[in-house]
Amino acid sequence: MGGIRLYPQPASLWRPEDHGYLTWNYDPALANNATLQSTVAAAGVLTFARVPMPKATRVTNLILMLTSVGATLTAGQCFAALYTAAGTRVGVTADQSSAWATGTGAKVMALATPYDPPDASDLYVAWWYNGTTAPTWGRSAQQSGASNPGLSAPNLRFGTADTGLTTTAPSPMGAQTGINTTWWAALS
């Protein structure tokens, strides 16, 4: 399930490079409506979205669409991380508690160390927060249970994994649980 899928795209469709990204899991026009937002599962829970990486290209940033800022986020306990399709952690951002508490829109989060994938493959963008009020994130309108059709752990597109997270991203990613929220994520 981790292999690369190359599908021809009609020239009329927007592509990640049109927005300055390497790749995304779907067109952000489907995710940036203020009515299409959701909070992550709960504080300290690793939430993830699978992103296809069509070629081996250096990844320096993770991007999520913040639709509503978090409140009283715990400093040093709000992070994003990058994982391979096998669940191996290959990158982590700095703390995002300030960034996720100010301003909405695309949040470009630099990896502490860029990741050079050895080949085309799928990657997981993962994140967690701790604090009083969770930030909300852009998603598509799909909420009826069709976010992972035909897939099972450990090959889910959208889900949660570890719990009780504070300052350190798990390595490897824990057992996946599917969710019905189709988060938008991108890489640059």
Give me the pLDDT at residue 12, please.
58
121 domain residue, yes or no: yes
Give me the pLDDT at residue 52, please.
95
Contacts 24+ apart (CB under 8 A), 87-92: 87/124, 87/154, 87/172, 87/173, 88/171, 88/172, 88/173, 89/169, 89/170, 89/171, 89/172, 89/173, 90/115, 90/117, 90/123, 91/59, 91/62, 91/115, 92/169
Give me the pLDDT at residue 6, please.
55
9 domain residue, yes or no: no
Q: Which residues in the chain come in under a pLDDT of 50?
A: 1, 34
Total domains in the chain come to 1
**Number of other residues whose CB lies within 10 A of the CB of residue 12:** 5
Q: What is the domain extent for residue 177? A: 16-187
46 domain residue, yes or no: yes
Query: Which pTM does this prediction carry?
Result: 0.89
Give me the pLDDT at residue 11, please.
57
**Number of other residues whose CB lies within 10 A of the CB of residue 73:** 24
28 domain residue, yes or no: yes
Q: What is the pLDDT of residues 63-76, one digit of tens each?
A: 999 989 999 999 99
57 domain residue, yes or no: yes
Q: What is the pLDDT of residues 114-148, one digit of tens each?
A: 999 999 999 999 999 999 999 998 887 665 567 88
10 domain residue, yes or no: no
Output the six-digit token pair for 45.
């829970």
